[in-house]
Amino acid sequence: MGKAIVYTALVIVCLGIGLIVGGLGVYYGRPYYEPQPQSIQIIKAKCYPMANGGGPSIEGEISLSQTSNKHLVINALIDGLPKKELGFHIHSFGVVNNNCSSAGGHFNPEGKNHGGPNSMERHMGDLGNIDASKFPHKEVEITDKKASLFGKDSIIGRSIVIHEDTDDLKNQSSAGGRLACCTIIRVD
C-alpha cells in the first residue's frame, strides 16, 4: 500500500521533470529569426512641363524620386523659361488640356498658410523657387522634406506649376501668373 503511493509519486515527479526538460528543449531548439529591417520602397514619377495653354515654347522633363525612408528628390531640366528664380509649387489637381488654371490652388491638405520650403508654416506644395537661370544646360535638383510620393497625401496625380515670377516665400501672389505646368505621373 505505502510502496504503491511512493511509486506513483515517483512516476508523477519523473513525468513532470520530463515535461519541463522536453519543453525547454523545444523552446531553445526553435529556429532563430533575425529581425527583418522594414522593407525599403522606391517610387519614381515624371512630369513634362508645357506652356500654359499649350504650344512648343516650353519643354523639358522633371523627374521625381523618393525612397520610403528619405526625402523627395526632384531633378528638372527645362527649356524656354526666363533666366531667373521662378515660383515652383505642387498644385492640387492634375492638368486638363494644358490649362494651368485647372491645377487648382497650392496643394495644402493641412490647411496651412503659404510659406517657403523651410518655413515652419507652409503648404505641402510650397517648394519655393527653381533657379531657371541654370537652364537649358544644367539640371536643377530640389530636395523637399514635406511633399511626398508616399501615403495618403501623395503628390502623384497632382501637378507642378512654374510661375512667371519669384515667390518671396511669404505672399503667394508674389509668384505671379502660371507660365507652365504638368501632371505628376508615376513611372516605376
Ligand X SMILES: *[C@@H]1O[C@H](CO)[C@@H](O)[C@H](O)[C@H]1NC(C)=O
x/- binding map, residues 144-183, to ligand X, per CB under 6 A? ---------------------------x-xx---------
Question: Min. distance of Cβ 101 from ligand X in angstroms?
Answer: 4
The least CB distance from residue 87 to ligand X, in Å, is 11
User: Among residues 72 and 161, whose Cβ is nearest to ligand X?
Assistant: 161
Cell numbers standing for residue 89:
509649387
Q: How far is the CB of 67 from ligand X (least distance, A)?
A: 34
42: number of Cβ within 10 Å: 11
Q: 73 CB contacts (<8 Å, ≥6 apart)?
A: 64, 65, 66, 141, 142, 143
C-beta of 23 vs 176, nearer to ligand X: 176
* H helix runs in the chain, sequence order: 2-29
Of residues 36 and 171, the one with the C-beta less far from ligand X: 171
Residues numbered 47 to 106 that lie near ligand X (CB under 6 A) are: 97, 99, 101-102
Place of cell 526538460: 21
DSSP 28-50: HHSPPPPPPPPPP-EEEEEE--E
Q: Which residues of the shown chain bind ligand X in the complex (CB under 6 A)?
A: 97, 99, 101-102, 171, 173-174
